[in-house]
A and B are shown apart, each in its own frame.
Chain A
């Protein structure tokens, strides 16, 4: 029982990060029908901006909550700018062409970011400074929750609530929903769609960067290729929940996080080696899509003839 609770906590921690990244995938997909393959790399950029800021601003010396907040917010802003720039220069010129074309541009941007970081910083992992004191709280029995895990839960829940508020209670959120419903009609209604798309990229990138900094607190190893697999799994999470659907992305992220942790924790008992950790997300996705082709919470679109 104790191990079960412990595994669940660890799974939810990983899942919360996936969920934060998946939100960006799902929002961009909802608006542009584009799989933004560069999104995983934004998560990496966020972590690296945090890394350099922590050193530049002198927070790397010891744990400080102020330092953490500054680093978190600053890296979110930086990532938002990067996301907007990518959209402006790589995706916007291709918007009227087939989506496959934009997808290739996205893969190109992803490769560009990765290769640029590897060329500048080297591929070796770096140790992210601990901005949070290492402390664990015993819940009940032997299950423990560390400070960084509490941080991940608190920040990701806060950000998700904030996102929900932005999307459903603000004017720009209403416009976002309108654009994702129908881009051309939204344009006819006087919505500045270019701005809304830009804003969506900024929002998604900021969430991914938050995920990057939070992961670096939990598992302080960052490298320029860390976004590839995490990004891919976050995308799987978005599809699993029903791509374009915001609660779906959170649900998918948490599910995949828990499933992965359980495969590592319990897989051996039933003969599944822990190396299947990276496959389990895809396996769940395939099973779910075969039964529900539009994901767990996705709505089925009636095809018009």
Chain B
């Protein structure tokens, strides 16, 4: 993309974020506002998008099955909350005297975000180096175990509230959350479309072959895991400073499951699929609140039944490994008969177009 176009689109995105944020504020814009409930859903959705996109890097593109994402989210959230509550709030007062309140506020939140993501990345490194030697389900259960241990350790730290929860100043608004969601997507997109991304996909397709081709598989796996953890930590920071209250109950393994469901439902190894999955999983239970009368009691029953139905009807995920792009629409207009070539921004589908986007079909056969 030419630089001019890039600058233009950046400005457009920032403007859009400001606009949405203005609509979401209590006063609204030009007399219109979203109201508290849609605002809440939209914020949750955007944070979920960051989580899904980040998990997709390690699970969808690298093929390393991790169900411990909630743990890294918790680390990011609690690390930044600790920094803000015990240190940064006081810096903010001093800083506000020099550069004004708004700038000081933004600066402090930037520091908190950087700190939370870095701590989560470091935790990812500590967890990743030993556990990424394990394969498949063993890796899955170890990451799940680490996440639970992280949660229980946090639960026992009295300085961050322990079981009673931890009140955190509210910093996040849609400009931050939406902006970082876009930044996360761009980061993951750029990684996936770089030589690193090729290495990651090759590890997913066949780890032994990748190693034989001279790829340092451990290094790349750990790298992907660390980046993924950092982004999960980022989501945690945004989540904590949006909710302004942290409880370890928000980071139980059911949340890790939820993120996994998002990427499998959207299509593993598809960025747009992860976004779509996050949208479906966040919006679906909210829409089911509309169920009439007595049925609203069965909201979550219907939700889980729909989950099963979706996975039974689209086992490869809604998008499979393909990417949704506007060129689909263009191509559909030009060549109605369709075409197998994946367009400009197309997906990273190396080998498979068919349904079984098998992460471990091959290994499974070997294991038998």
Complex-state Cα separation, A103 to B366, whole angstroms? 20
Q: Say whether A289 contacts B142, CB under 8 Å.
A: yes
The answer to whether the Cβ of A65 comes within 8 Å of any Cβ in the partner chain is: no
Looking at the assembled complex, report how far the CB atom of B254 sits from the nearest CB atom of chain A, in whole angstroms: 8
Chain A residues with CB under 8 A of B146: 282, 286
The answer to whether the Cβ of A108 comes within 8 Å of any Cβ in the partner chain is: yes
Contact A94 to B311, CB < 8 A, known contacts A101-B316, A235-B141, A279-B148 = yes
Chain A residues with CB under 8 A of B356: 96-98
The answer to whether the Cβ of A33 comes within 8 Å of any Cβ in the partner chain is: yes
Chain B residues with CB under 8 A of A119: 297-298, 300-301
Q: Say whether A303 contacts B366, CB under 8 Å.
A: yes
The answer to whether the Cβ of A152 comes within 8 Å of any Cβ in the partner chain is: no
| Residue in contact with B311 in the complex, picked from A104, A184, A236, A281, CB distance below 8 Å | A104
The answer to whether the Cβ of B134 comes within 8 Å of any Cβ in the partner chain is: yes
Binary CB contact string for chain B from 37 to 74 against chain A (1 if under 8 A, 0 otherwise): 00000000000000000000000000001000000000
Complex-state Cα separation, A184 to B361, whole angstroms? 14
The answer to whether the Cβ of A63 comes within 8 Å of any Cβ in the partner chain is: no
Chain A residues with CB under 8 A of B261: 104, 107-108
The answer to whether the Cβ of B96 comes within 8 Å of any Cβ in the partner chain is: no
Chain B residues with CB under 8 A of A281: 145
Q: Say whether B308 contacts A286, CB under 8 Å.
A: no
Q: Say whether B308 contacts A108, CB under 8 Å.
A: yes
The answer to whether the Cβ of A112 comes within 8 Å of any Cβ in the partner chain is: yes
Chain B residues with CB under 8 A of A278: 148, 152
| Residue in contact with B357 in the complex, picked from A35, A98, A293, CB distance below 8 Å | A98
Q: Say whether A275 contacts B152, CB under 8 Å.
A: yes
| Residue in contact with B360 in the complex, picked from A98, A239, A282, A286, CB distance below 8 Å | A98
Chain B residues with CB under 8 A of A73: none
Q: Say whether A182 contacts B360, CB under 8 Å.
A: no
Contact A279 to B316, CB < 8 A, known contacts A119-B300, A289-B134 = no
Complex-state Cα separation, A232 to B152, whole angstroms? 15
The answer to whether the Cβ of A100 comes within 8 Å of any Cβ in the partner chain is: yes
Looking at the assembled complex, report how far the CB atom of B60 sits from the nearest CB atom of chain A, in whole angstroms: 10
Complex-state Cα separation, A281 to B144, whole angstroms? 12
Interface-centre pick from A115, A235, A236, A290 (highest chain B CB count, 10 A): A115
The answer to whether the Cβ of A141 comes within 8 Å of any Cβ in the partner chain is: no
Contact A100 to B268, CB < 8 A, known contacts A236-B145, A282-B149, A301-B367 = yes
Q: Say whether A243 contacts B303, CB under 8 Å.
A: no
Looking at the assembled complex, report how far the CB atom of A235 sits from the nearest CB atom of chain B, in whole angstroms: 7
Complex-state Cα separation, A172 to B226, whole angstroms? 47
Interface-centre pick from B131, B300, B305, B315 (highest chain A CB count, 10 A): B315
The answer to whether the Cβ of B355 comes within 8 Å of any Cβ in the partner chain is: yes
The answer to whether the Cβ of A190 comes within 8 Å of any Cβ in the partner chain is: no
Q: Say whether A101 contacts B300, CB under 8 Å.
A: no
The answer to whether the Cβ of A273 comes within 8 Å of any Cβ in the partner chain is: yes
The answer to whether the Cβ of B192 comes within 8 Å of any Cβ in the partner chain is: no
The answer to whether the Cβ of B215 comes within 8 Å of any Cβ in the partner chain is: no
Q: Say whether B155 contacts A275, CB under 8 Å.
A: yes
Q: Say whether A112 contacts B305, CB under 8 Å.
A: yes
Chain A residues with CB under 8 A of B254: 228
The answer to whether the Cβ of B307 comes within 8 Å of any Cβ in the partner chain is: yes
Chain A residues with CB under 8 A of B368: 181-184
Name the CB-closest residue of A to B134: A293
Complex-state Cα separation, A105 to B133, whole angstroms? 27
Complex-state Cα separation, A170 to B30, whole angstroms? 77
Task: Count residues of chain A with CB under 8 A from any CB of chain B.
Answer: 52
| Residue in contact with B312 in the complex, picked from A90, A99, A235, A279, CB distance below 8 Å | A90
Chain B residues with CB under 8 A of A118: 300
The answer to whether the Cβ of B195 comes within 8 Å of any Cβ in the partner chain is: no
Q: Say whether A90 contacts B308, CB under 8 Å.
A: yes
Interface-centre pick from A94, A96, A243, A286 (highest chain B CB count, 10 A): A286
The answer to whether the Cβ of B249 comes within 8 Å of any Cβ in the partner chain is: no
Binary CB contact string for chain B from 295 to 319 against chain A (1 if under 8 A, 0 otherwise): 0011011011101100110011000
Within 8 A of A (CB), among B339-364: 355-361, 364
Q: Say whether B265 contacts A104, CB under 8 Å.
A: yes
Q: Say whether B141 contacts A273, CB under 8 Å.
A: no
Q: Say whether B137 contacts A100, CB under 8 Å.
A: no
Complex-state Cα separation, A286 to B305, whole angstroms? 34
The answer to whether the Cβ of B216 comes within 8 Å of any Cβ in the partner chain is: no
Contact A115 to B366, CB < 8 A, known contacts A104-B260, A275-B152 = no
Looking at the assembled complex, report how far the CB atom of B238 sits from the nearest CB atom of chain A, in whole angstroms: 25
Contact A109 to B149, CB < 8 A, known contacts A94-B315, A104-B260, A116-B301 = no
Q: Say whether A243 contacts B156, CB under 8 Å.
A: no
Chain A residues with CB under 8 A of B297: 119
Q: Say whether B301 contacts A98, CB under 8 Å.
A: no
The answer to whether the Cβ of B130 comes within 8 Å of any Cβ in the partner chain is: yes
Chain B residues with CB under 8 A of A96: 356
Complex-state Cα separation, A275 to B149, whole angstroms? 11
Complex-state Cα separation, A243 to B142, whole angstroms? 13
Looking at the assembled complex, report how far the CB atom of B121 sits from the nearest CB atom of chain A, in whole angstroms: 20
The answer to whether the Cβ of B91 comes within 8 Å of any Cβ in the partner chain is: no
| Residue in contact with B149 in the complex, picked from A90, A98, A101, A279, CB distance below 8 Å | A279
Binary CB contact string for chain A from 268 to 305 against chain B (1 if under 8 A, 0 otherwise): 00000101101101110110011001100000010111
The answer to whether the Cβ of B115 comes within 8 Å of any Cβ in the partner chain is: no
Chain B residues with CB under 8 A of A183: 368
Binary CB contact string for chain A from 239 to 258 against chain B (1 if under 8 A, 0 otherwise): 10001000000000000000
Looking at the assembled complex, report how far the CB atom of A246 sits from the nearest CB atom of chain B, in whole angstroms: 17
Please give 10 more A-B residue pairs, beta carbons under 8 A apart, in addition to A101-B264, A116-B301, A282-B145.
Answer: A101-B311, A112-B308, A235-B141, A276-B152, A278-B152, A279-B149, A279-B152, A282-B144, A289-B138, A294-B138
7 residue pairs bridging A and B, Cβ less than 8 Å apart:
A33-B364, A97-B356, A100-B268, A103-B264, A105-B308, A236-B141, A285-B141
Q: Give 6 nearest A-B pairs by CB, closest first.
A: A282-B145, A111-B304, A115-B300, A112-B304, A108-B308, A279-B152
